[in-house]
Structure 1
Amino acid sequence: MILIKGGRVFVEGKFQERDLLIEGQKIRAIEKDLEIEKDSIINERTRVIDARGKLVCPGFIDLHVHLREPGFTHKETIATGSRAAARGGFTTIAAMPNTEPVIDQPGLLEEQEERIARDAVVKVYSHGAITKGLKGEELVDFGAMASLVLGFSDDGRGVQDRELMKKALAEAKKLDKKILAHCEDESLNNQAYLHEGDLSRKLGIKGISSASEYQQLARDLDLVRETGAGYHLCHISTREALDLIREAKREGLPVSCEVTPHHLLLADQDIDLEDADYKMNPPLRSEEDRLALLEGVIDGTIDIIATDHAPHHQEEKARGFAEAPFGIVGLETCFPLLYTYLVLEGIISLERLVEMLADKPASLFGLDTGVLEPGREADLAIIDPEASFVIDVEDFHSKGRNTPFKGYRCRGKILRTFVAGREVYAGD
């Protein structure tokens, strides 16, 4: 039995001073002034955690994570990635299938489930590939994989063939699964590594055009109109894509989207070309795009936050901006960054941030978590909103050190994380 005393508990959409009692794997009670009594269920054997002045949040959910196992364990493993998640207050994550081998058949999913059961300290779901080998040529067997996956994604590449994408959406619709789409028309990305904007023009190099994202999204939304399939846009990065999603929602189409912390906080004008930790895909876009994405968070067009946690070995990122791989880590920095630079700056409310990190991703994908209430599994994080610290990559539990946010001063430190009543993180 664990009694969390005096915290500001996020219940029914707002923070309220409450005590929270965990019994076994589940939340037993959330009430004011639960007391230890000799003959009560709460007695001297109950562990008490003083949470006065602290936030008690539902465990965060990240639907877009790269755990790199199998195949790339020099970058990350299920064990290290899940520990990084716990340190960031995440209790549920969903892993993308771009491993080696690609997670594109039931046998590989079953092997992955065994690894997860053995090594993960948080709840880990798997997304299955849309096409075999992520090659964009032949669909996987959706029916054989559906019961083992949360959704289907070829993340890292867009499905270039219109008819193949239409068939994928139709298959997903039949199975009541969502497609998580990486929108990138490869005929428009110029095989580049920066946004096509002021910086790329100043350098005299080709950039990744905004059209590579929004034109493929426009195609996909037409296919959603035809098929009625559930569709989730990964890592939205452009103003035009946001406008398309906004209009699709007005139409009542079954669409949703996510945004990363880095696309909310940084633009191409912030890039240090000597530091390949600023290289990701989609790239950091214009300041106009960044401000549009913030507006999308404020007005509810953007549904959730996802980190697109993409660890790489330091030697890989040291190859220079042009040659280094795309991607940055994000699980351990997500909440502190957004709390510090959006909530404390008055751009969004703390309640909106927690909704986008917990309740909304759970409801979008039918997960029985994301809220704190009696009877639910005790997936939660205790956070000190006043604790100030500097992001130091040497403290990371992830193998990846690749973040452009190193050295940033933040508030909002994760103190403890519980998954199904088990403490999986207890400070550094």
Structure 2
Amino acid sequence: MSKTLIRGAKVLGGEPQDVLIDGTTIAEVGSGLSAEGAEVVEADGKVLLPGLVDLHTHLREPGREDSETVLTGTRAAASGGYTNVFAMANTFPVADTAGVVEQVWRLGQESGYCDVQPIGAVTVGLEGAKLAELGAMHESAAGVTVFSDDGKCVHDAVIMRRALEYVKAFNGVVAQHAQEPRLTEGAQMNEGVVSAELGLGGWPAVAEESIIARDVLLAEHVGSRVHICHLSTAGSVEIVRWAKSRGIDVTAEVTPHHLLLTDELVRSYNPVYKVNPPLRTERDVLALREALADGTIDIVATDHAPHPHEDKDCEWAAAAMGMVGLETALSVVQETMVDTGLLDWAGVADRMSVKPAQIGQATGHGRPVSAGEPANLTLVDAAYRGQVDPAGFASRSRNTPYEGRELPGRVTHTWLRGKATLVDGKLT
């Protein structure tokens, strides 16, 4: 079995140490380590983190392989430092049966770049009318524990209650896309000053906040777990904070783009900034950063949403919603949270590896960088700073809002159970 010696890495941003990988496992962490025949990686003070875990990725396969495939998506994940991703159910066909989730799971196994855990649909066809085969998907080879109709809201309170009751039996979680559909008909961007000036249909904050308020109360009533996808408003933060103060079992995620970008960018009418939920105000951005820092928001999730060129290179109203994010997420978090002093690198590991793995029950991921643990690791050159060039992305799609923007940090190495998937910034 192969050995790798990572020399002089700042584990979780601390003092430089050596880390010895033996086969699939971390064998030793300490100073002055040596190992005969080991491949040596000179970290030179780079930051070593547990492999990142994304609880919210769109891999598009089956059905939209023109946007992304499991293979290209997991290559993008490895490039961004991820060793585990959860694939959303809004594929074609929808991942609402054991057969479809097993297909996605097996494709992930074959890729070899990243573990893939399928997310099962809550309702048949994402139509919101009838519960999908939640139990069968959980009992399948994929072992689904997270269920979501993401892209659509489970807007019927009775259906949502039934889903929460059902997943409670195996400690599953329902991940809600919080969007009251009646309040967002024709919505194109955040409802506010900018939407009024541009004459674009508004997506009001209350459309998100009202669903979150309802669902945390349902979770309390049922005694089940609910997870809030891509939380985006200051009001939503306050609702989740209140719910947690009552002991309700709620977790929440924020995307990198909602930590950095605001609705002012929509003035360009560039569809690359069109996303659901929409980019919000500077006040919301600051509230989201503070909530991620204090733990009200539990995790960062990318909502990686690839689209082919023709779905974005068109007029605003016709453009698809979504942004790719796997290959830039860590850089944006460094820019908004680490370099601002809101989080240290241990905090980043907690929000981008440890807690998402716990929420999704990702076995072997989000573990401490210590002897005896699986060697799922990410090495980051935090001193690096450079412009984002989507031409170099591993993703099949290029719809990034950061093209040409200078961001800090660069993932140089990723290991999945001791196997290097990324070396010196290049996929193996």
TM-score by length of structure 2 reads 0.95
- Return the offset for 1:217: 1.1
Equivalent residue for 1:157?
Answer: 152
SS at 1:325 equivalent: coil
Listed one character per residue, the Cα deviations across residues 321-364 of structure 1 (whole Å, up to 9, x for unaligned) are: 11111100000001112213432233332332222111121223
Listed one character per residue, the Cα deviations across residues 57-104 of structure 1 (whole Å, up to 9, x for unaligned) are: 111110000000000000000111000000001111100010000000
User: Which amino acid counterpart does residue 219 of structure 1 have in structure 2?
Assistant: R
Equivalent residue for 1:26?
Answer: 25
SS at 1:322 equivalent: helix
Q: Does 1:56 align with 2:48?
A: yes
- Return the offset for 1:251: 0.4
SS at 1:297 equivalent: helix
Q: Does 1:6 align with 2:5?
A: no
Equivalent residue for 1:338?
Answer: 333
Equivalent residue for 1:262?
Answer: 257
Moved more, 339-348 or 236-245: 339-348
SS at 2:48 equivalent: strand
SS at 1:15 equivalent: coil
User: Which amino acid counterpart does residue 271 of structure 2 have in structure 1?
Assistant: A
User: Which amino acid counterpart does residue 262 of structure 2 have in structure 1?
Assistant: A
User: Which amino acid counterpart does residue 198 of structure 1 have in structure 2?
Assistant: V
Would you say the 8 A contact 2:357–2:365 is kept in 1?
yes
Question: Which of 227, 232, 236 is matched with 2:231 structurally?
Answer: 236
User: Which amino acid counterpart does residue 421 of structure 1 have in structure 2?
Assistant: G
Rounded to whole Å, the distance in 1 between the matches of 2:306 and 2:245 is: 36
Q: Does 1:85 align with 2:70?
A: no
Question: Which of 345, 350, 369 is matched with 2:365 structurally?
Answer: 369
Closer, same or farther: CA 120–137 of 1 in aligned 2, 3 Å = farther
C-alpha RMSD over aligned residues: 1.3
Closer, same or farther: CA 53–104 of 1 in aligned 2, 3 Å = same
Listed one character per residue, the Cα deviations across residues 118-155 of structure 1 (whole Å, up to 9, x for unaligned) are: 22411111110000010101101221111321300000
Equivalent residue for 1:404?
Answer: 401
Matches within 5 A, 1:375-414: 375-414=372-411
Rounded to whole Å, the distance in 2 between the matches of 1:6 and 1:204 is: 55
TM-score by length of structure 1 reads 0.95
Equivalent residue for 1:101?
Answer: 93
Matches within 5 A, 1:293-308: 293-308=288-303
Rounded to whole Å, the distance in 2 between the matches of 1:121 and 1:274 is: 36
Listed one character per residue, the Cα deviations across residues 132-181 of structure 1 (whole Å, up to 9, x for unaligned) are: 01010110122111132130000001011111111011001122100011
Listed one character per residue, the Cα deviations across residues 307-328 of structure 1 (whole Å, up to 9, x for unaligned) are: 0000000111012211111100
Rounded to whole Å, the distance in 1 between the matches of 2:336 and 2:225 is: 32
Rounded to whole Å, the distance in 2 between the matches of 1:410 and 1:202 is: 30
Equivalent residue for 2:102?
Answer: 110
- Return the offset for 1:28: 0.7
Q: Does 1:251 align with 2:250?
A: no
Moved more, 205-214 or 350-359: 350-359
Rounded to whole Å, the distance in 1 between the matches of 2:326 and 2:200 is: 32
Would you say the 8 A contact 1:58–1:380 is kept in 2?
yes
SS at 1:212 equivalent: helix
Equivalent residue for 2:283?
Answer: 288
Rounded to whole Å, the distance in 1 between the matches of 2:267 and 2:374 is: 43
Equivalent residue for 1:319?
Answer: 314
Rounded to whole Å, the distance in 1 between the matches of 2:224 and 2:397 is: 35
Count residues with an aligned counterpart: 418
Extract unaligned runs of 5+ from structure 1. Answer: 36-41
Matches within 5 A, 1:61-72: 61-72=53-64
Q: Does 1:130 align with 2:127?
A: no
Rounded to whole Å, the distance in 2 between the matches of 1:149 and 1:287 is: 37
- Return the offset for 1:15: 2.1
User: Which amino acid counterpart does residue 238 of structure 1 have in structure 2?
Assistant: T
User: Which amino acid counterpart does residue 120 of structure 2 have in structure 1?
Assistant: G
Would you say the 8 A contact 1:142–1:172 is kept in 2?
yes
Matches within 5 A, 1:207-246: 207-246=202-241
User: Which amino acid counterpart does residue 94 of structure 1 have in structure 2?
Assistant: F
| Runs of 4+ with deviation above 4 angstroms | none
Would you say the 8 A contact 1:134–1:154 is kept in 2?
yes
Would you say the 8 A contact 2:5–2:38 is kept in 1?
yes
Rounded to whole Å, the distance in 1 between the matches of 2:170 and 2:186 is: 35
Would you say the 8 A contact 1:78–1:120 is kept in 2?
no
Question: Which of 186, 189, 197 is matched with 1:191 structurally?
Answer: 186
Equivalent residue for 1:421?
Answer: 418
Moved more, 103-112 or 277-286: 103-112
Provide the identity percentage: 39
Moved more, 267-276 or 79-88: 267-276
Rounded to whole Å, the distance in 1 between the matches of 2:133 and 2:343 is: 42
Equivalent residue for 1:38?
Answer: none
User: Which amino acid counterpart does residue 394 of structure 2 have in structure 1?
Assistant: H
Would you say the 8 A contact 2:70–2:104 is kept in 1?
no
Rounded to whole Å, the distance in 1 between the matches of 2:28 and 2:76 is: 29
SS at 1:62 equivalent: strand
Extract unaligned runs of 5+ from structure 2. Answer: none
Would you say the 8 A contact 1:272–1:278 is kept in 2?
no
Rounded to whole Å, the distance in 1 between the matches of 2:278 and 2:393 is: 24
- Return the offset for 1:273: 3.3
Rounded to whole Å, the distance in 2 between the matches of 1:343 and 1:295 is: 12
